[in-house]
Amino acid sequence: MIELVTINGKAFEASGCRLTVSGLKLKGWKSVKYGDKRTRRKIQLVDKSLAPVSLTQGTYDAGQVTIELLKQSAHALRMRVALKSSDGRSFGEPAFNGSLQYTQKGLPSATDEFTGLSFAGSDANATSPGSDPLYETLVFDVLKLKWSGFKLWNGGLF
């Protein structure tokens, strides 16, 4: 039986996927979800046509990264991140990076990068219908995403 994981709702063979967060290769993850957006506004000139003539640079939002993984892997990640904090115990303070490498038969491999991750929350609620008591969901805020080296945001300072 082939083990599957989901990436943004699409199924991939787990053997072709590697998720690394804060330098730790995560084991036992079964789903990851992420995305970004750029909100622009139309620029209109005050003339007879009132038709837009351009767009603003807009604002970029990388949103959140959500990972469903085994509880012991979540614990190992919290410990690793907490060691980087000023008191050695807070996993909510430090920022870190991550990446997801994945491939599908017949297609070139892809590597998506997450810059400036920080813990935003978790859900270890095993009482909801259909949930697996061995897994929990971690939620991270992220500053920037790169999709196989390409980015939605402008170069700027970073």
Domains and CATH numbers, the chain: 4-38+49-147 (2.30.110)
pLDDT at 106 over 90: no
| 91-104 mean pLDDT | 95
Instruction: Output the pLDDT for position 126.
Output: 52
| Mean pLDDT rounded to a whole number for the chain | 89
CB atoms within 10 A of CB 116: 16
Q: Identify the weakest region by mean pLDDT among 64-78, 84-98, 113-127.
A: 113-127
Query: Per-residue confidence at 13, pLDDT binned at 50, 70, 90?
Result: very high
Among 5-9, 39-43, 115-119, 123-127, which stretch is predicted with the lowest mean pLDDT? Answer: 123-127
Position 150 scores a pLDDT of 92
Backbone angles phi, psi at 107, to 5 degrees: -120, 150
The whole-angstrom separation of Cα 90 and Cα 94 is: 8
Give the number of other Cβ atoms within 10 Å of residue 135's Cβ.
Answer: 19
- The percent of residues above 70 in pLDDT, for the chain, comes to 91
B/e letters for 59-87, b = 16+ CB within 10 Å, e = fewer, are ebebeebbbbbbbebbeebbebbbeeeee
**What per-residue confidence (pLDDT) applies to 46?**
74
Tell me the pairing of strands 110-123 and 135-141. Answer: antiparallel
pLDDT of residue 158: 45
Please determine, for residue 24, whether its predicted confidence score (pLDDT) is greater than 80: yes
Is the per-residue pLDDT at 29 higher than 70? yes
Q: Is 138 left (phi over 0), alpha (psi -120 to 50) or beta?
A: beta
CA 23: distance to chain centroid?
A: 15
